[in-house]
Amino acid sequence: MSASPEFSAILPTSQVEELIRTLVKAQRAFQMYLPNNPVYHRASEALGSAFIPVWNATDELVLTVAETDLIWEDAVVYSQLNKPDSFAWSLYKDGMRVLTLRRGVEEAEIVRFLDVVNRVKLLAADAADDLLTLLWEQDFQHLTYLFAEPVAEGHLPTVEPAAEEPRPPAAVGAAVREEVAEETAKPRGTVDLDDFDSTLYFLDPTEEAYIRGALDHEYARNVRGDALATIVDVFELREAADEREDIVQVLEHLFPSLLNSGDFRNAAGLLRELRVALGRAEELSPAHRERLDRLDARLSEPAIVTQLLQALEEGGLEGAEEDAAVLLRELRPSALEALVTYLPRIPEGALRRLLVEAASRVATQHPAEVLRVLKQPESEAAGGIVELAGRLKLEPAVPGLGEVLRRGTPPLRLAAVTALAAIASPGALAHLERALEDDDRAVRLAGVRFLGERGYRNALRRVEAVVLGREAREMDLTEKMAFFEAYGAVAGEAGIGPMRELLEPRGLLRRKAAPQLRACAALALGRIGTPEARAVLEAAAGDKDLIVRNAVNNALRGRSA
């Protein structure tokens, strides 16, 4: 029977998940330690305690066994995709489909059940027993299960409750086994041809495949990862300060070794286990918490980060993308400079996406580190940090970008202009004004074009000084056009008079300006775009100079368009 509705309503899924987590940890402890070991006893006690809140809500817990999941009330309460490490798979592969736990199972039967599950893992390939037969021998009273029947040809498997199968008394079963053994016993030294397979290799293809699969499973098993997880479990279960001190010392030696050997998979697993343990370990001293937290900080040291990225680049991400993502999510601010420095070496692909995400996360969460690097334009990472600040539109990075604009190389100053233009805050625009007086043409051109597009009126004084002074006469045509168009955008109607004087000066003794300057004045009037500005342009539409006439016509067409 299933739990009553009122019980189900007050039993949160998270409580069942916690129970299953404790159960899996206990299974791992029972596998690693003998019953006389204190860790074995602590795991058993923790498992019994985990049942208490569940039994406060219901008398029965029905779990559906999927391939790698355990499901309760349509909710997945346990999932482990890696089959060799999956508790659900160890049940599912032998045919179990439903596991029912009832009040009282925690007293002794759940420990016996987990011992049976561990025993099944050690059975030989030709063993006569399996999970079903071993469970049947236990004669559980508070634990029942459903197994799938073997698939017959053309038929779907059916599931029958093991509890309904006839169970001979234990004494009768033992007597029958003894009798069969006596009847089938052969005299010592007798050779029976049936003991030998008639084929050349003594194994049929099915047996060969089974053995090959068992060997592959054994060699693929992450023994080191299991050992590390057990160490963290022991740390969580043991509350004595001296015992936890011993474990912390072990971890402090192990974690750097994992990183130095390139074992990032188990390093990621250790960090995952520690994060859970630190959240649940009771009465953890501040000193121990600080020392374990420093393991993450060690990961973010520039030399370690570079080594990590080299290993990921050389080894690829096949099968390790999740582990790499876990490690990169743990990076601290000190890793940002090494990340950004290494990033240009990585081609497009999954690894580059992971590194960009990691760098973006650190920069967003720690703008102070971005500012620190920007204030050192000589840093190898400065260019990448400037690009990152612009792409993320990090407004706190504006003072640092201003520093780059003052002290950086021309390419770096140009990148800073692009980043400030992307941020476009009032502070960013104020720094961009200085770009108009930069020694590098590309920097000036980028700055004036953006300020003109934004119509940033605070830049009028500097733009006007260039347009109406001698400086404009020494610029090439492209830069002249950019400054004059920006002048028209920021000056508005106030710029009509100066531009009229340049385009068509009045008075007999006034000399006309150079054709290029007059053409640029026409472009500025086109950007002003008022009726008065258009009238000035129309008056100059018949100018004798071809360059000026074309500029006027272009300005008029731009206005009409």
Q: How confident is the model at residue 185 (pLDDT cuts 50, 70, 90)?
A: low
**Cut 0.85: pTM above it:** no
What pLDDT is recorded for position 327? 77
Q: How confident is the model at residue 2 (pLDDT cuts 50, 70, 90)?
A: very low
What's the CA gap between 72 and 6, in Å, rounded?
Answer: 16
What's the CA gap between 234 and 26, in Å, rounded?
Answer: 11
pLDDT for 181 beyond 70: no
Q: How confident is the model at residue 61 (pLDDT cuts 50, 70, 90)?
A: very high
306-316 pLDDT, tens digit each: 888 887 787 66
Least confident of 28-37, 188-197, 275-284: 188-197
What pLDDT is recorded for position 474? 81
479-535 pLDDT, tens digit each: 989 999 999 999 989 989 899 988 876 544 455 778 888 899 999 999 998 999 999
What pLDDT is recorded for position 361? 92
> If you average pLDDT over residues 222-247, what whole number do you get?
84
> If you average pLDDT over residues 221-249, what whole number do you get?
84
What pLDDT is recorded for position 511? 59
What's the CA gap between 312 and 319, in Å, rounded?
Answer: 11
With 0-12 CB in 10 A as exposed, 13-18 as middle and 19+ as buried, what is 249?
Answer: exposed
Q: Which residue from 487, 494, 491 is spatially nearest to 517, judged by alpha carbons?
A: 487
Q: How confident is the model at residue 301 (pLDDT cuts 50, 70, 90)?
A: confident
Q: How confident is the model at residue 175 (pLDDT cuts 50, 70, 90)?
A: low
339-358 pLDDT, tens digit each: 999 888 888 888 888 899 99
What's the CA gap between 230 and 302, in Å, rounded?
Answer: 30
> If you average pLDDT over residues 322-342, what whole number do you get?
84
What pLDDT is recorded for position 401? 92
What pLDDT is recorded for position 510? 54
Percent of the chain's residues with pLDDT above 90: 30
> If you average pLDDT over residues 244-253, what whole number do you get?
87
> If you average pLDDT over residues 116-139, what whole number do you get?
84
Higher pLDDT, 462 or 225: 462
pLDDT for 149 beyond 70: no
What pLDDT is recorded for position 325? 80
Q: Under DSSP, is residue 65 helix (H, G, I), strand (E, B) or coil?
A: strand
Domains of the chain: 5-178 (no CATH), 366-454 (1.25.10), 459-561 (1.25.10.10)
Q: Report the DSSP beta bridge partners of residue 147.
A: 96, 160
DSSP, residue by residue, 225-260: HHHHHHHHHHHHH---HHHHHHHHHHHHHHHHHHHH
pLDDT for 199 beyond 70: no
Neighbours of 434 (CB within 10 A): 16
Q: How many residues can be counted in the chain?
A: 561
